[in-house]
Amino acid sequence: MRLPIHLQREVARLHFHDPRQSHRALGRACGLSPGTVQAVRTALTRNGQPWSKLQALDDDAWRDSLGTRDRTVAQTKPAPDWQWVHAEMQRADATLQMLWHEWREQCPDGIGYSQFATGYRLWTKRLHVVMRRTHRPGDKLFVDFAGRTVEVRDPAGGPSQFAQVFLAVLGYSNLTYLEAVDSQSTADWIGCHVRCLRAIGGVPQWVVSDNLKAAVWRRERDRIVINAAYRDCLTHYDTAALPTGKRKPKHKAKVEVGVLIAQRWVLFALRDRVFFSMKELNDELARMMVRFNDHPFKKLPGCRRQRFEAGERAALKPLPALPFELRDWRYGVLVQDDHHVEHERCYYSVPSALARERVDLRFTQDLLEVFHRGRLVAVHALLKTAGEVSTVPEHRPLAHQRVLEGEPKQLMQWATRVGIHTRRMIEHHLRQRHDAVNGIRAAQRMRELARLYGEPRFEEVCAYALPLNITSLRSVTSILKEDVDRRAKVVASTAPRPPGQVRGASYFKEGS
């Protein structure tokens, strides 16, 4: 099966989420063809394991368990353009058999006559058919942005802002939610969903959205690519997107009518109001929505709120313990040789076995998660200062752990015995460098230099180098070999005195 592994997982999640849904419904939610969804569901049925066990598998174990390793799939026979067939059938004396013979002359490898006739009859059944949709309690939430905006003026006299109005309608009760936001960006779109679900106090089975970029990245020939951040949000709430067909307003007639009613009831009523902040506008929208949801139906008993409280609130799934926080992704990040990954000039450890592998990073404002082949391998608090390092001790190789536990103590004891400047130099390499293993190696090499040139001599070099911010092993070695510090003293002592200086240094000594 040539379907990407993350799409296989999404189909499986939705299959266990609502087994009653058809292949086509799940295909629309995942952006896949019904046949592809059927193949994945067949593999799940054949496997027989529950979702609680399947979701814990990594990518390789998943493919082995479900038998979805890539393999060649035979091509199906081509079918005709049914629009052409339908147009030809409108002519006098036209028959399907004659049209099939004409088409087969142009396409000898095409489908047979029985498939031709069956395919045409199925295609014509979809023409000009209007379906009256019956919504179950807690089944669908329809979401969209209203076509009209609301002006928000700048109190300081600057340019006005035109707020976008988000609207959500529950399919069964018609309970309506309105909110004004700055834009139709992904962050505002997801934020509206979070606050909407909190307002209604539960989660529906499906969220029916339009094809704006915040919800659908692009439509391809055989699948829909859902915005990754939007998909993460709905997964957090244990629901899923059900995008409408392109230029198919009847697929979300509920929210289209809701937009129309909202524009007549709310936006028209606000046409002469002047707002100077988004909070002021949202406070007024909330007040008007209470009146709107409490207004009696014309053809049904009660109102939206009564219908929601009586028949839909209990059917909604409970909200998760924490609200969704917008997360972003970086894919294919290379793990460095020191088993750390770089993100915004900070470094985070992963298990040492993943050195030189590629991983995916998922991050929020406070947290960074590392995934390898679909499996979570590390979690870190997000660092704020460039150059900072977050290292989990268990991620280090066993040999490194042993070195880091014993060697630094011995090095610090030796440096303290030699002198204060040596201690400061060794302390820098052991505690201030982000690459702890290389810091220990540099300190060990400096101890060898001190034994070679003498510990007093090494103390002199450290006293010379530290005020100049010289700490690298190469620079310290060069100073020792070239006697740079001693030559600097000679040059300073033989330099001519500035004009006008007639007193010697002894003049300024204490007691002179």
How far apart are the two ends of the chain, measured CA to CA in Å? 94
The pLDDT value recorded for residue 73 is 35
**How does pLDDT run across 45-96, given as a tens digit for each residue?**
888 888 888 888 887 787 777 776 654 333 467 888 888 888 788 776 788 8
Q: State the pLDDT confidence band at 369, using cuts at 50, 70 and 90.
A: very high
The pLDDT value recorded for residue 74 is 31
Name the token pair of 225: 């690519």
Query: What average pLDDT does range 282-311 have in this prediction?
Result: 88
CATH of span 140-315: 3.30.420.10
Q: What is the pTM of this model?
A: 0.50
Query: What average pLDDT does range 340-359 have in this prediction?
Result: 92
Query: What average pLDDT does range 103-127 have in this prediction?
Result: 85
Q: How far apart are CA 168 and CA 177, in angstroms?
A: 5
| 111 contacts: CB under 8 Å, gap ≥ 6 | 77, 78, 79, 80, 119
The pLDDT value recorded for residue 305 is 92
- Judged against a pLDDT cut of 60, whether residue 222 lies above it is answered with yes
pLDDT > 90 in the chain, percent = 27
Name the token pair of 328: 């972003």
pLDDT > 70 in the chain, percent = 85
Work out the widest C-alpha separation in the chain, in whole angstroms.
Answer: 130
Give the CB-side neighbour count of residue 186, counting CA atoms within 13 A: 17
Q: State the pLDDT confidence band at 424, using cuts at 50, 70 and 90.
A: very high
Name the token pair of 232: 């993460």
The pLDDT value recorded for residue 245 is 63
Of residues 2 and 320, the one with the higher pLDDT is 320
- Eight-state DSSP code of residue 264: I
**How does pLDDT run across 439-484, given as a tens digit for each residue?**
888 888 999 999 999 999 999 999 999 999 999 999 999 999 988 8
Residue type, 386: A
Query: What average pLDDT does range 147-159 have in this prediction?
Result: 87
10 Å CB burial of residue 48 (0-12, 13-18, 19+) is exposed
**How does pLDDT run across 1-58, given as a tens digit for each residue?**
677 878 888 888 888 888 888 888 888 888 888 888 888 888 888 888 888 888 888 8
Name the average pLDDT for the chain: 82
Query: What average pLDDT does range 298-326 have in this prediction?
Result: 88
Residue type, 100: W
**How does pLDDT run across 175-201, given as a tens digit for each residue?**
999 999 999 988 899 999 999 999 999
Name the token pair of 348: 């985070």
The secondary structure of the chain in percent helix, strand, coil, rounded to multiples of 5, reads 50, 15, 35
Would you say 317 and 358 are in contact if contact means Cβ atoms under 8 Å apart? no
Would you say 30 and 14 are in contact if contact means Cβ atoms under 8 Å apart? yes
Give the position of tokens 């960006």: 185
The pLDDT value recorded for residue 72 is 37
- Residue 376: φ, ψ to 5°: -70, 125
The pLDDT value recorded for residue 494 is 66
The pLDDT value recorded for residue 509 is 47
How many Å separate Cα 327 from the centre of its chain?
4
